Structure 1
Amino acid sequence: MAVASLLWTLFLFSIIFSLQSSSSSSSDTPITRFQQYLRFNTAHPNPNYTAPVSFLINQAQSIGLTAKTIEFVSGKPILLLTWLGSNPNLPSILFNSHLDSVPAESEKWIHPPFSAHKTNDGHIYARGAQDDKCIGVQYLESIRNLKSRGFVPLRTIHISYVPEEEIGGFDGMMEFAASSEFRDLNLGFAMDEGQANPGDEFRVFYADRIPWNLVIKAEGIPGHGAKLYDNSAMENLMKSVELISKFRESQFDFVKAGKAANSEVISVNPVYLKAGTPSTTGFVMNMQPSEAEAGYDLRLPPMADPDVMKKRIAEEWAPSIRNLTYTIIEKGKLRDHLGRPIMTPANDSNPWWSIFKQAVEATGGKLAKPEILASTTDSRFLRTLGIPVFGFSPMTNTPILLHDHNEFLKDTVFMKGIEVYESVISALSSFEGVSDQVI
């Protein structure tokens, strides 16, 4: 009787253990790991980098990757994961993504932005779902699958997770790209983030536009609001505003006429105007100010001539003869170390392009016409060094929601991205080409 009771107890325990193991297994999937990564609040102005880096290190170690954390600026870690290739003397491959995200206005979301809530139709809502925590997890999941099939890369593969991309990358990738640690990677090719496509083709980007911040300041004689002055501060500034507006319209006309994509023209957008003498009720209306200021966001494609643009600003938009001064803050370069426009050839002259394209097509996917990214990513710091880089986030039939309310990614789209990256990573890391000079 006692033996029967013991056997029955052991039987019950085995069932409970089996159920617990099954439950644990079903809760540890690519989707749940993606959700876990999304739940780390890495939004500015106070991104939490410690928790997601620990999570990523654990994931990397679980699939046999080595992990190294580097800090060029205190509290802003760069995580570097490595899968050693069978021929580490060949130039390596880098897959990059960023840890940080832009802020989210919680009250304007249908689900909390850091809950990673998954709806019945498979939409995973979270800040960073598209920009760009998706690829950060897809890299790892792809390698997990490749390793499970016994694949061994020829070239060494590196995965980097960098901070501060959303605020310029200056304490993240810029510092990393200028370091000896980066040079030691001996990179031959890299991939970084792209964007979703509402259509059924994968978008790929071969260049970024470079942001310039332009501030124009005007000075003039202050005086009574009823008096007409030559060269008053506001008059001089408004002349500049009119000229800049005409230039903006001329660039926009190319886009409207279908002669150029938005990312192929120089965009100039006013972001602030500052003038007037404050009062308790607003501004003193019968007093003309002695100073006025306007700020603009400029985005220049790689084919733009920076010297021509600076000449236009100095001679037309803010000439000193109208008592105007200006400041330009360039947040990147338009020319590489050899003086060439910073872009990666997206044609058969570039062997990396051919391999990448074939790898995507091998999964049944199709690439859209290669584009210049309208905004800016960390890719520019690598391309400046002559390293070929493509921006690519495998999201089709998906609305573009980066930086928007209710950012989401559908579970099936995320899983397809893993399949695509398995093909891409295996193909790129198997390239035996002898032509490994930077492009």
Structure 2
Amino acid sequence: MELRLHLCIISLLLLSSKSTAILSDDDPIISRFQRYLRINTAHPNPQYREAADFILSEAESLSLESQTIEFVPGKHLVLLKWPGSDPSLSSVLLNSHTDVVPAEHDKWVHPPFSANLDSNGDVYARGSQDMKCVGIQYLEAIRRLKASGFKPKRSVYLSFVPDEEIGGHDGAEKLAESDVFKGLNVGIVLDEGLASPTETYRAFYAERCPMWLVIKATGAPGHGAKLYDNTAMENLLKSIESVRRFRAAQFDLVKAGLKAEGEVISVNMVFLKAGTPTPTGFVMNMQPSEAEAGFDIRVPPIADQESLEKRIAKEWAPTSRNMTFRHGQFKQKVSVLDKSGKPILTATDSSNPWWALLEDAVKKANGKLGKPEIFPASTDARYFRNLGLPAIGFSPMANTPILLHDHNEFLNKDEYLKGIEIYESMIKAYASYVDHGKIAGSRDEL
């Protein structure tokens, strides 16, 4: 009995020792990830100063050049630099945003800013996928490259920007428009992508542009018991039905596998406002004189935005039904075309060496890359594409459910660590690239 007990204790000690050894190599890496996730940068009051201090501390440990910029007071943007040996070459910009969307704490299995690591190796936190993982993976990949003795030919910049989740106007947009950005001589931008439920990584060359539409109907008020034509509610419901049929037709293309989600026009009703309010509810025996509905429309650069606007004016909000739609009722409208009238997208063929480099780097890191996609929503990458720069959306999260903006957002630590290897390969490829003496990656070339 004693011998068996001793053997059992020895086995447990050996197992414990082995487990500790397995964890010890990765523990500081995961710990740094958790520290960043625990900084509450959720809107409406993101802790930007705390996030900037953390990033600056990590940059100092890596001997990276750094500066903090406030294009808008209180909205800290951190810019880091790993200088390259050939300043004549265009640089690589690794962009990420520090802010995250709010979380409903009572809907989570773990507090959303606890960065809890469970027994399955899943790190639960708001921002674990969108997109604090990417920002820290950049830094960890550079840490590995520096440790290996790698010296970049191109300068590598890292931008940690605020406000992406509320449009990026005080973050990436102001950076892209600034003299600071012009001085970086950027040739390629990497920004965020999406998780992939399969073993194949996803990469994005364009994104759908938002058209936030409000349709308003008017009509004479009347008794709640009376039947008459062209009431505000009746006309608005006709519009909603017309929108619903269009949405269903677009969605059918996705369900049938004929188009990817990012290739169709999506329309979702996000609010409905009508009725005559009272202190305890609404007047039930009175038909309202006004009713309106809001729609989140996303348009891919391969779609005909002009035709969509004609459809809105003629079918969804015609003046013949007392609809008061006009172009000014777009809460936000972003064109799918650039200043020269061309679709805003990044080439994925032989004209763009950066795409081929990404594909090869992922393969060298034993990863699989899927077919190029259009991002279904909007990211900060659009501000750089608008300048004529190639920008690729990529977040190395395979075998992971898509949980951005969802409850219980998490990323498995093994997928996180694998993502660092992927970025190590990509950054090395990009920072080493010289196209036979040409200044590869310039805006004119691509």
TM-score (norm 2): 0.90
Instruction: Look up the match of 2:412.
Output: 410
CA contact (8 A) 1:168 1:331 kept: no
Q: How does 1:19-58 map to 2 (within 5 A)?
A: 29-58=28-57
Q: How does 1:325-340 map to 2 (within 5 A)?
A: 325-326=324-325, 327-340=329-342
In structure 1, the residue corresponding to 2:197 is in which secondary structure?
coil
Instruction: Look up the match of 1:223.
Output: 222
Name the aligned partner's letter for residue 178 of structure 1: E
Find 1:369's aligned residue among 361, 367, 371: 371
Unpaired segments ≥5 residues, structure 1: 1-21
Find 2:402's aligned residue among 400, 403, 425: 400
In structure 2, the residue corresponding to 1:35 is in which secondary structure?
helix
Instruction: Look up the match of 1:84.
Output: 83
Name the aligned partner's letter for residue 413 of structure 2: D
Instruction: Look up the match of 1:5.
Output: none
User: Does 341-350 or 375-384 show the bigger shift?
Assistant: 341-350
Find 1:437's aligned residue among 414, 428, 442: 442
CA contact (8 A) 2:98 2:132 kept: yes
CA gap of 1:119–1:235, structure 2 versus 1, over 3 A, is closer
CA gap of 1:27–1:341, structure 2 versus 1, over 3 A, is closer
Q: How does 1:182-193 map to 2 (within 5 A)?
A: 182-193=181-192
**Distance in 1 separating the partners of 2:25 and 2:205:** 39
Could you tell me how far 1:379 is from its partner in structure 2?
A: 0.7
Name the aligned partner's letter for residue 239 of structure 1: K
CA contact (8 A) 2:188 2:390 kept: yes
Instruction: Look up the match of 1:420.
Output: 422
Root mean square deviation, CA, Å: 1.7
Q: Deviations over 1:323-346 (max 9, x none)?
A: 212211335331123221111122
Q: Does 2:185 match 1:210?
A: no
Could you tell me how far 1:272 is from its partner in structure 2?
A: 1.3
Q: How does 1:9-408 map to 2 (within 5 A)?
A: 29-326=28-325, 327-408=329-410
**Distance in 2 separating the partners of 1:182 and 1:396:** 32
Could you tell me how far 1:53 is from its partner in structure 2?
A: 0.6
**Distance in 1 separating the partners of 2:109 and 2:288:** 46
Could you tell me how far 1:28 is from its partner in structure 2?
A: 7.0
**Distance in 2 separating the partners of 1:375 and 1:426:** 29
Unpaired segments ≥5 residues, structure 2: 1-20
In structure 2, the residue corresponding to 1:29 is in which secondary structure?
helix
User: Does 428-437 or 45-54 show the bigger shift?
Assistant: 428-437
**Distance in 2 separating the partners of 1:283 and 1:190:** 52
In structure 2, the residue corresponding to 1:189 is in which secondary structure?
strand
Name the aligned partner's letter for residue 289 of structure 1: P
Could you tell me how far 1:437 is from its partner in structure 2?
A: 3.4
**Distance in 2 separating the partners of 1:45 and 1:322:** 39
Could you tell me how far 1:410 is from its partner in structure 2?
A: 1.4
**Distance in 1 separating the partners of 2:25 and 2:304:** 55
In structure 2, the residue corresponding to 1:190 is in which secondary structure?
strand
Could you tell me how far 1:244 is from its partner in structure 2?
A: 1.2
**Distance in 1 separating the partners of 2:73 and 2:417:** 35
In structure 2, the residue corresponding to 1:337 is in which secondary structure?
coil
Instruction: Look up the match of 2:13.
Output: none
Could you tell me how far 1:319 is from its partner in structure 2?
A: 2.0
CA gap of 1:308–1:292, structure 2 versus 1, over 3 A, is same
In structure 2, the residue corresponding to 1:325 is in which secondary structure?
coil
CA gap of 1:333–1:77, structure 2 versus 1, over 3 A, is farther
Could you tell me how far 1:398 is from its partner in structure 2?
A: 1.4
CA contact (8 A) 1:332 1:381 kept: no
CA contact (8 A) 2:93 2:157 kept: yes
Q: Deviations over 1:59-94 (max 9, x none)?
A: 111111111111111111111001111111211110
In structure 2, the residue corresponding to 1:214 is in which secondary structure?
strand
Could you tell me how far 1:270 is from its partner in structure 2?
A: 0.9
Could you tell me how far 1:230 is from its partner in structure 2?
A: 3.1
Name the aligned partner's letter for residue 283 of structure 2: V
Q: Deviations over 1:219-254 (max 9, x none)?
A: 111122233333221222122112111111211121
Name the aligned partner's letter for residue 312 of structure 2: I
CA contact (8 A) 1:337 1:386 kept: no
**Distance in 2 separating the partners of 1:378 and 1:363:** 26
CA gap of 1:136–1:331, structure 2 versus 1, over 3 A, is farther
CA gap of 1:345–1:26, structure 2 versus 1, over 3 A, is closer
**Distance in 1 separating the partners of 2:248 and 2:122:** 39
CA contact (8 A) 1:333 1:384 kept: no
**Distance in 1 separating the partners of 2:322 and 2:91:** 53
**Distance in 2 separating the partners of 1:404 and 1:394:** 19
Could you tell me how far 1:349 is from its partner in structure 2?
A: 2.8
CA contact (8 A) 2:90 2:442 kept: no
Across the two proteins, how many residue pairs are aligned to each other? 416
In structure 2, the residue corresponding to 1:153 is in which secondary structure?
coil
Could you tell me how far 1:280 is from its partner in structure 2?
A: 4.5
Aligned identity (percent) is: 57
In structure 1, the residue corresponding to 2:109 is in which secondary structure?
coil
Q: Deviations over 1:400-430 (max 9, x none)?
A: 1211222111111111111111110010111
Could you tell me how far 1:386 is from its partner in structure 2?
A: 1.1
**Distance in 2 separating the partners of 1:72 and 1:59:** 23
**Distance in 2 separating the partners of 1:51 and 1:331:** 33
Could you tell me how far 1:201 is from its partner in structure 2?
A: 1.0
